C-alpha cells in the first residue's frame, strides 16, 4: 500500500516534541550552552526553550546572551499576563465601549495603546476596560475618574522606573544566573500586592478624617489654608557643569531620602522637582519643625547646602499636585533665601509657636509677580535664636 506522505499528520504531542528537540539542538549549536554541564546545562536549556516559546528567535537569544540580558527577557516573560490575547477592537466589543473610549482610558491609566488591530492586550486589560463601565454605573464623576486615572498612571510609571533601576542592577550582577529573574518576578508581584494594600490603608485614613476631623490632622480640603514649603540645594545648576548626570541624580535621590525620613503626618511630601522638594501641611508648626529637621539631616549627610521658603495661605489639590498663589509664593521665597536659610512670610510667622520657633526679620524682598516688597523672616529654633 502506498502512503501519500504529503497527507500524513503527526500527533500534536509528537510534533511538539520534535519541534522542541530541533529547537534544543539549534540552541546548543548556537553556543548558548557552552561551558555548562549537568543540572546547570539542563536548567539553562529549559530557560532558553521557555524564551523561544515566546517567539524569540535563536539569533535574538544569542544577542541577548552576549549582552547579558537573558535574565531581563525572562523577567519580562514572567511578569507578562498569559492566556487569551485581544485586539483593542475586541476589547471594545466585549466591554461595549467605543474603541476611542478604551484607548483614552488605557492611556490615562498608563497602559498605552500601540495598535487597534494587534492582539496586544490580555484578560487583565479587558477587565480594566470593564472597570470604567462599572465606575460609570456607580455614578462617579467622569472628569474625576479620568483625572484620578492620570495621576495613577503617571505614578505607576514612576514606581516602575524606580523598581527597574533596582532590579536591573541585580540582574546585571547575575549575568551567569539569569534564572534569578524568576525569583525577582515573584518579589515584584508581591510588591504590587503590598502597594495595593498601602493605597487602601491611606484611603481608609483619608475617609476617616472626613468623618472625624481633628485640629491636628484636618486636610486643607476642609480648612482652605495650608503651609507650603519648597527646599532645594544651593548651586545645583553650577554643580551640573562639574558633575555627571548620574552623580546629580544621586544627590537628588539623597535629598529625597532625607526628606522622606523626616516627614510624618500631618506634613506631606508632595513631590520632587529636580533638586527641590515640596512639602505641605495644615499645621504650620509641624511643617516648620520638619524643614528644620531636613536641614539638620542634610548637613549630617554632607549634602550640598539647602535653602527654603515657606508661605501660608489658600491652595488647592489638582491632579496629584497643589496649585494656587501660596504655592507660587513659597517657590519665590525659596529662590531669594540665602545658603542655609529658611525664609517664611508674615502669615506663616504669625502662626508659629514662639516658645519653640523664632523668626527674625530678614529684610524686605521684591518677589517677581507679587508687587511691592514683602518683609520675610528667617526661621530658627528658639534655642538657636537665644544662642
Instruction: Tell me the per-residue pLDDT of 140-188, one tens digit each, with 9 for 90 and over.
Output: 999 889 988 888 888 888 888 888 888 888 888 888 888 898 888 888 8
Of 45-49, 173-177, 262-266, the range with the lowest mean pLDDT is 173-177
Both 362 and 260 in a single domain? yes
For 216-241, write each residue's pLDDT tens digit. 444 444 457 999 999 999 987 777 67
Note whether residue 210 is domain-resident. Answer: no
* Residue 49: domain span: 15-67
For 99-150, write each residue's pLDDT tens digit. 999 999 999 998 888 788 888 899 999 999 999 999 999 999 998 899 888 8
Contact 298, 258 (CB under 8 A): yes
Per-residue pLDDT band for 242 (boundaries 50, 70, 90) equals confident
Both 121 and 170 in a single domain? yes
Both 228 and 369 in a single domain? yes
Both 51 and 156 in a single domain? no
**All residues at 6 or more sequence positions from 369 whose CB lies less than 8 Å from its CB, including other chains:** 328, 332
Both 173 and 310 in a single domain? no
Both 51 and 152 in a single domain? no
Mean pLDDT of the residues in the chain: 86
Note whether residue 120 is domain-resident. Answer: yes
Evaluate if residue 307 carries a pLDDT over 90: yes
- Among candidate residues 146, 177, 208, the one where a domain is terminated: 177
Both 141 and 109 in a single domain? yes
Evaluate if residue 196 carries a pLDDT over 90: no
- Among candidate residues 112, 143, 177, the one where a domain is terminated: 177
Task: Give the pLDDT of residue 350.
Answer: 96
Evaluate if residue 209 carries a pLDDT over 90: no
Evaluate if residue 206 carries a pLDDT over 60: yes
In Å, how far from its chain's centre is CA 189? 15
* Most confident among 82-86, 201-205, 213-217 (mean pLDDT): 82-86
Task: Give the pLDDT of residue 16.
Answer: 63
Task: Give the pLDDT of residue 221.
Answer: 43
Note whether residue 93 is domain-resident. Answer: yes
Task: Give the pLDDT of residue 220.
Answer: 46
Per-residue pLDDT band for 212 (boundaries 50, 70, 90) equals low
Longest dimension (CA), the chain: 111
Both 50 and 102 in a single domain? no
Task: Give the pLDDT of residue 182.
Answer: 86
Contact 279, 291 (CB under 8 A): yes
Both 48 and 137 in a single domain? no
Note whether residue 294 is domain-resident. Answer: yes
Per-residue pLDDT band for 15 (boundaries 50, 70, 90) equals low
Both 274 and 326 in a single domain? yes
Both 35 and 113 in a single domain? no
**All residues at 6 or more sequence positions from 70 whose CB lies less than 8 Å from its CB, including other chains:** 47, 48, 51, 61, 64, 178
Both 146 and 259 in a single domain? no
| Cα 95 to Cα 92: distance, rounded to the nearest angstrom | 5
Q: What is the CA radius of gyration of the chain?
A: 29
Q: What is the mean pLDDT of residues 211-220?
A: 53
Q: What percent of the chain has pLDDT over 70?
A: 89
Amino acid at each position: 500500500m502506498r502512503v501519500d506522505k504529503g497527507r500524513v499528520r503527526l500527533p500534536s504531542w509528537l510534533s511538539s516534541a520534535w519541534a522542541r528537540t530541533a529547537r534544543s539542538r539549534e540552541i546548543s549549536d548556537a553556543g548558548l550552552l557552552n561551558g555548562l554541564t549537568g543540572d546547570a546545562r539542563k536548567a539553562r536549556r529549559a530557560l532558553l526553550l521557555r524564551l523561544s516559546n515566546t517567539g524569540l528567535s535563536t539569533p535574538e537569544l544569542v544577542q541577548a546572551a552576549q549582552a547579558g540580558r537573558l535574565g531581563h527577557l525572562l523577567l519580562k516573560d514572567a511578569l507578562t499576563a498569559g492566556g487569551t490575547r485581544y485586539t483593542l477592537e475586541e476589547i471594545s466589543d466585549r466591554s461595549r465601549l467605543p474603541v476611542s473610549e478604551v484607548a483614552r482610558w488605557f492611556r490615562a491609566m498608563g497602559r498605552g495603546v500601540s495598535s487597534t488591530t494587534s492582539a496586544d492586550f490580555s484578560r487583565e486589560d479587558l477587565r480594566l476596560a470593564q472597570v470604567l463601565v462599572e465606575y460609570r454605573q456607580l455614578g462617579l464623576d467622569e472628569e474625576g475618574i479620568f483625572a484620578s486615572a492620570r495621576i495613577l498612571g503617571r505614578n505607576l510609571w514612576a514606581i516602575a522606573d524606580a523598581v527597574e533601576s533596582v532590579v536591573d542592577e541585580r540582574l546585571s550582577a547575575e549575568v551567569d544566573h539569569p534564572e534569578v529573574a524568576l525569583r525577582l518576578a515573584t518579589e515584584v508581584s508581591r510588591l504590587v500586592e503590598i502597594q495595593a494594600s498601602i493605597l487602601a490603608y491611606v484611603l481608609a485614613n483619608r475617609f476617616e478624617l472626613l468623618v472625624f476631623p481633628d485640629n491636628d490632622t484636618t486636610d486643607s480640603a476642609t480648612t482652605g489654608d495650608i503651609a507650603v514649603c519648597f527646599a532645594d540645594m544651593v548651586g545645583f545648576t553650577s554643580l551640573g557643569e562639574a558633575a555627571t548626570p548620574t552623580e546629580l541624580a544621586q544627590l537628588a535621590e539623597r535629598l529625597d531620602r532625607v526628606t522622606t525620613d523626616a516627614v510624618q503626618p500631618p506634613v506631606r511630601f508632595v513631590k520632587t522637582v529636580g533638586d527641590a522638594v515640596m512639602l505641605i501641611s495644615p499645621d504650620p508648626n509641624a511643617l516648620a519643625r520638619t524643614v528644620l529637621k531636613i536641614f539638620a539631616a542634610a548637613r549630617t549627610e554632607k549634602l550640598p547646602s539647602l535653602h527654603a521658603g515657606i508661605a501660608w495661605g489658600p491652595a488647592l489639590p489638582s491632579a496629584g499636585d497643589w496649585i494656587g498663589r501660596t504655592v507660587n509664593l513659597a517657590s519665590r521665597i525659596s529662590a531669594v533665601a540665602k545658603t542655609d536659610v529658611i525664609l517664611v512670610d508674615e502669615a506663616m510667622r504669625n502662626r508659629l509657636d514662639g516658645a519653640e520657633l523664632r523668626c527674625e526679620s530678614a529684610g524686605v524682598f521684591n518677589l517677581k509677580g507679587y508687587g511691592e516688597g514683602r518683609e520675610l523672616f528667617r526661621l530658627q529654633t528658639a534655642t538657636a535664636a537665644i544662642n
